[in-house]
Amino acid sequence: MEETTSTIKTIGVMTSGGDAPGMNPFIRSVVRACYAFGIKCIGVEGGYEGLIHGKFREMGVRDVSGILQRGGTILQTARSKEFREPAGQREAIRQINNAGIDALVVAGGDGSLNGAQKLVAKGIPVVGVPASIDNDIYGTDTCIGVDTALNTIVDAIDKIRDTASSHNRAFLIETMGRQSGYQATQAGIVTGAELVLIPEHKTPVEEVAAAIEEAYRRGKSHAIIVVAEGYKPQALDLAAHLEAMDIGFSTRVTILGHIQRGGKPTAFDRLIAQRFGVSAVEFLLAGLTGVMTGLRGNEIVPVPIEEVVTNTKKLSERFIEMTRILAK
C-alpha cells in the first residue's frame, strides 16, 4: 500500500474479467462520486484490452442514469492475454498518459487485481474493487455479484427439486467455482441438499452414492447434490458412475452455467458495489494507491493489492461442517 499527495484531476473506471451482477451500480457510483468531488471520469471499455487500444469515453451523471437495476456492465469486460506481456502493459500506460488519466479504479477478480498490481508497480495509481461471483478474493468478506449469484442458484435448485420429486430422481446440480466451493456450500445449506461436493474437500464416489441411497431408504422422493465445477470427477462423469450403481434413484445433471452471472443485482449487491465505488474514489483522493476496497465486518477498508494477490482465500471449515450436520 502506497500513500502519495493527491493531484488527481481525472479518474478512469473499468470492469475486467468475468462479469458480475452489481458492476453497473459500481460504475454509477464511481462516475457520480467523481462528479461530486469535481473530478473528470473516463470510462474504459472492454477491460485491459480496451486500455491497450485506447477505448475511452468521458462519462457524466447522465451516462449512468437508469443502470442501477441492470445486470452485466455497460463498459463491457474481457480477459486480455496481450496485457499479460510487458509490451501490452507499456502500451496500456502510453494510452493512459495520452488520455490524461491520473488514476484508475479497476473492478474484477484475481486476474484483474494482478493486472492492477502490474500498473501500480509501473507508477500508475490504482485502486482495485473485488468483483467475483465465486467470493474467492482474499482480504474481503464478500465481492460484487456474490449475493445475486447465490440467489440465482437457490432459485434454480428450488425449481429443480419440484421436478426431481415428481420423478423420484437424484439431481447433480453444478455451480460455478473452479477453485472455491463457497457458492456450492452456501446453496447446499440453504436448500437442504443431501451433499455438497467442492474442490477443497475430496469426497469419494462411494460416499456420494451412500448419501443418495440413504435418502432413498428414508423414503424421500428426491435427492439434491450440489457440485462445484472444480470438484473431480465433474458432475457429468460422476453421474455416469452413479448410474452404474444401485442407489435407488435415477440420476440427472443440471449445469447452471452462465445463468449465474446474469440478472438484476440484489439490493445487497447494489449497495456493496456503490460502497466500494465511492470508497475507491475517496481512497485515491486521499493519496492511497495499490489497495483494494475490502469489506471487513461492516467497514470498507483499504487492503494492499500485493497482499490480495499473494494469498488464497480459504473456505470456512464451519460451512463445510454445517453441510454435513444438516444433511443427517
68, 108 Cβ separation under 8 angstroms: no
**CA nearest 73: which of 262, 327, 275?**
262
Query: What ranges in the chain are assigned the alpha helix state H?
Result: 23-36, 47-52, 86-98, 110-121, 146-167, 182-191, 205-217, 235-243, 267-285, 305-309, 317-326
Active-site hit among 134, 136, 147, 269: 134
**CA nearest 293: which of 269, 276, 272?**
276
d(CA 236, CA 272): 35
88, 112 Cβ separation under 8 angstroms: no
> For residue 202, what is its C-alpha cell?
475430496
198, 162 Cβ separation under 8 angstroms: no
Would you give the distance in Å from CA 66 to the centre of its chain?
23
Residue 182 contacts by C-beta under 8 Å, 6 or more apart in sequence? Answer: 134, 135, 136, 146, 315, 319
284, 103 Cβ separation under 8 angstroms: yes
d(CA 170, CA 31): 48
134 a catalytic residue = yes
H or E segment to which residue 43 belongs: strand 40-44
Give the pairing type, strands 299-304 and 291-296.
antiparallel
- Phi first, then psi, for residue 78 (nearest 5°) are -165, 165
Positive or negative, the Cα torsion across 219, 221, 226, 229?
positive
- List the catalytic residues: 134
